[in-house]
Amino acid sequence: MTDVWKLVPYQVSGSKRAYKFVLLERLPSIERAKELVIDQTCRTPECFEYLNNIPFELRSHFMEQFCFFDDQYMHLRRFFIDKPPMEQFRKFMRQYGLFILE
């Protein structure tokens, strides 16, 4: 089984940019999990802005980069296959003013 996690906004007094992980779905294969992550990511405003500027024939490649491989988009990702290593992830996201709660 493969877990897909969603990073959701979480209201914390004094901080409007706090997020926490919630389990979105447990799927039987990594392939199905990747499909779900890409499908859900396409619907986010963070991705939509980029996607509109990508030629149709390059969108599949772009989505794989956006969702899984290219770290320049890491701070924009909201869906994950398994949780990333939390300490490193928190430190990375803090650079963008995003605070990740356990």
Question: How far is residue 81 from each of residues 3, 17, 46, measured CA to CA in Å?
Answer: 6, 22, 18
Count the neighbouring beta carbons within 10 Å of the beta carbon of residue 44.
15
pLDDT, tens only, 34-73: 999 999 999 998 898 888 899 999 999 999 999 999 989 9
20, β-bridge pairs:
8, 101
pLDDT at 12 over 80: no
Whether the per-residue pLDDT at 14 is higher than 90: the answer is no
pLDDT at residue 16 in the model: 66
Residue-level pLDDT at 15: 57
More confident of the two residues 30 and 52: 30
